[in-house]
Chains A and B, each alone.
Chain A
């Protein structure tokens, strides 16, 4: 009997081509669109059009297709966390959270319920099988690499995961989709956080129910002098320059957010650079690296990995020191450690540590 693989189909070109490649490779492919979000959003996430695109591709490929409901898990693990994090003065990473708790964990369970032995997605990443178990590698296309967002995938699930487009770059994916006549070959890439509308994340946070009202507070400089006021710490992220409500003077950036005090601290650009960071709740996709190990670290998606040294790494978290300092270390974001293309693991940034040496 052919091996059954359930592919998560968003209606975009990447997952559509992934499904097509799996069909061609001889798998028994089942397409599933995950309904994650039922709220009103002009971002187009989980829209009927996306499901229809996925359905059309599945029909073209001759595979069964289902829309399945994951809204409760998404609300709990991603949306509620998103709101709570902003209210605590942190900057959440909903895509990484979604991958960790919904798109892989919940999806893998559903796939097994359907009798599958593997799952597949259209992410730009690769899975290898070295001697120490399954490994997550960056995608070939450095511009599109999504391995940063995938650090939280359980290693046992990773062992059963296929990334059919991870070995391609985006132009090749579009060309391969066009060559197969897939209707979504030219469809625009999705942008930004899928459930937040163009009104922005602050409006979203305000619109979500919460027991505690948002609290106004002060914008202060490094010496504690009050430069202005704000209506809630959810509007700020470390490294932010615009929208500080501080007129005149030299360029200032958010250097720290103290939600308990309601204070947003700002300073010169140099004050946003830290020597390293501490991260918690790690997920290791390799044995935790020993102290002193040379790694590279990514603290946001769209920057190149930076050279660093491991100070401590275990099941509770890790600390690293960067060779050249890290700009805008943002609590709530993911810090992901790499050995070359391989993801060693990652965690959630708790704090920046130390100035630049």
Chain B
């Protein structure tokens, strides 16, 4: 199988696996317990927190471990806006569902929402963020990178603006982390996930700047400073820490991605979505006019190539991609999106085989469409 769905999840890296198993084997206690076995687990957890803090250049105390990015996004948005009725929130319309759905729920509870305009490549402009701000603006939420089309946002500039205006900034960095260099500390609240960069599923973090008042989503324990009740996942945290120092994806991945795009662009009716050059180095989102993305992805799967229709969290729904709709695509095009996301281990031979498979599939499907048109 050729795995080109690294934005959905990545294979577990050996060092993450080793760290995971080491803590599972050695730390049989509960990190909160007052005995030796508990202290072993607690030591592993706090070591992981320090490692994460050091790698991200933030205080270890700023790291709140969660079950992943979805929980971290929920904790950031609901936790930072305890009284949504009074709050004005500014957000990008191309966020992951775990940001969009909480925002809609906050809206239902009375928050006022302003959606930022995005250009055809999905980019947010700092000037638009500034223009959207009012004295009531409590929070801005913009993802660092979009996992579906690869757009990378100007977070440093947005952070400077928010700091100057005294507005909280939440950044979902789950898709940027590990792929491009990011400065987590510039946001007040930053969402991270381990399994997008070789860590295990089930561990992520919300990095909260000191002084940001947060309320927990649930109650039942004092773990993670009371923000995240429940027995801590020390083994997951250790595995997360084991991959956090990985260098971002290099130019080699971008070159392979560009090679795949060059081959795909030669096919008739293929459109690319997202930025061509300044986006995530591993992401290519395209659609073929007249073809359903779910059919292309299934046909690729039958050829042994794993790709995705937009975000994995929306696969199988048949709904047009909200991200592509926000870019101005019509509904048919927005149902046609196919995402290839490469990883550090992707090879040139895999890219060439994928390009050949895509060509076979597009030609076959165009033949079906032509015969249907002739019959109809």
Contacts and interface: CB of A to CB of B under 8 A. Distances in A.
A71 interface: yes
Given A71-B318, A115-B364, A110 B295 contact: yes
Contact of A114 (B295, B317, B318, B372): B295
Interface residues of B, number: 16
Interface in A76-134: 109-110, 112-115
A68 B368 contact: no
Interface in A300-347: none
A64 interface: yes
Main secondary structure of the interface of B (DSSP, over half): helix
Nearest to B295: A113
B294 interface: yes
B298 A68 contact: yes
A35 interface: yes
A112 B299 CA distance: 10
Interface string A63-74: 010111101000
Nearest to A154: B375
A110 B294 CA distance: 10
A115 B318 contact: no
B365 A113 contact: yes
B224 interface: no
Given A109-B368, A109-B372, A115 B316 contact: no
Interface in B287-320: 291-292, 294-295, 298-299, 301-302, 316-318
A68 B299 contact: no
A112 B301 contact: no
A30 interface: yes
Nearest to B364: A115
Nearest to B317: A69
Given A69-B294, A109-B368, A114 B316 contact: no
A71 B335 CA distance: 13
A264 B291 CA distance: 47
B295 A30 contact: no
Contact of B298 (A35, A112, A114): A114
B301 A64 contact: yes
From A66, A69, A113, A115, residue with most partner B Cβ within 10 Å: A113
Contact of A35 (B292, B295, B318, B364): B318
A346 to B, nearest CB: 20
Contacts of A109: 368, 372
Contacts of B291: 113
Given A113-B364, A113-B365, A69 B318 contact: yes
B372 A115 contact: no
B325 to A, nearest CB: 16
A113 B291 CA distance: 9
A72 B264 CA distance: 28
A64 B318 contact: no
A64 B302 contact: yes
Contact of B299 (A35, A69, A113): A113
B316 A67 contact: yes
B256 to A, nearest CB: 26
From A64, A66, A68, residue with most partner B Cβ within 10 Å: A66
Interface string B314-335: 0011100000000000000001
Interface string B342-376: 00000000000000000000001100100010000
A60 B150 CA distance: 37
Contacts of A115: 299, 302, 364
B334 to A, nearest CB: 13
Contacts of A64: 298, 301-302
A86 B280 CA distance: 54
A66 B298 contact: yes
A66 B299 CA distance: 10
A68 B294 contact: yes
B294 A114 contact: no
Interface string A201-219: 0000000000000000000
Contacts of A110: 295
A67 B316 CA distance: 6
Contacts of B298: 30, 64, 66, 68, 114
Contacts of B335: 69
B294 A112 contact: no
Contacts of A69: 292, 294, 317-318, 335
A172 B38 CA distance: 59
A109 B372 CA distance: 8
A114 B316 CA distance: 16
A109 B335 CA distance: 17
Nearest to B297: A66
Nearest to A38: B318
A64 B317 CA distance: 18
Interface of A: 30, 35, 64, 66-69, 71, 109-110, 112-115
Given A30-B302, A66-B301, A69-B318, 17 more contacts: A64-B298, A64-B301, A67-B316, A68-B292, A68-B298, A68-B318, A69-B292, A69-B294, A112-B364, A113-B291, A113-B299, A113-B364, A113-B365, A114-B302, A115-B299, A115-B302, A115-B364
6 contacts: A30-B298, A35-B318, A68-B292, A68-B294, A69-B292, A112-B364
